[in-house]
Amino acid sequence: MSQRPSQDIAIITGAASGIGYSTARYFAARGARVVGVDLSERVVELMSELPGGAHLGIARDLTDPTAADRVIAQAVAFAGTPTILVNSAGVALLDRAVDVTPDRWQTTLDVNLSATFYMSQAAGRVMLGAGYGRIINLASQAAVIGLDEHAAYAASKAAIVGLTRVLSKEWAPSGVTVNAISPTVVETPLGKVAWAGEKGERAKAEIPVGRFAQPEEIASLIGYLASADAAMITGTNVLVDGGRTGV
């Protein structure tokens, strides 16, 4: 089985904003080469501005089943075999269950679940060949508890937790760990808008620590799960919710 390479090569989806961007900055600041992937063309500029240089931004629609293989091939050609994959790209289209349209249901599953699977599968193939890898999938507290207007979102995130467990079982013998992280509301730019005002204050009141999570806190946990120190952690779903799911 191969040893951990001297330099990490981290592929991060949803890298143009929120948790994905914070995670890209986290790894770049610690010497990793970063390949950021996002639907937004802005990812190209943002990755070029990360500390350390030698980073790559790829604008790609990951709901296309053929996109993941092309992204991984481009990343390998640019930097070598990836050691880390962070599946952070996602959407939150919130409706009451009786109002969810087929289009919004399918979009949620395509972006949150299918893209995560395609990227994990494509990255897994090269990581398994190398005998080393760390995959971290972004799930949600909605995978664990019931939340109003989250039918499609919760279904997609609960499926990510199940997928994580299967991949971890299949790939652990080859040196590849797979874990999920389930945050409460995170104060990304989109999160601040979606949970502004009275709605946000009610949500904070349900969290024992009395606040939402910060993107940098999630990035730090991702960094740990991607590290050599976390070699014995795989198949887990780590809750970052200030005690919310224990209430």
- Give the active site residues: 153
What does the DSSP assignment read for 124-170?
HHHHHHHT-EEEEEE--GGGTS--TTBHHHHHHHHHHHHHHHHHHHH
Closest C-alpha to 57, from 32, 73, 69, 74: 74
For residue 1, count other CB atoms closer than 10 A to its CB.
8
CA distances from 35 to 13, 20, 94 (A): 9, 11, 30
| Location of structure tokens 């050599």 | 228
Position 91: which residue type? V
Structure tokens at 114: 């299918």
Rg of the chain over all Cα atoms, to the nearest angstrom: 17
Q: Which amino acid is at 214?
A: Q
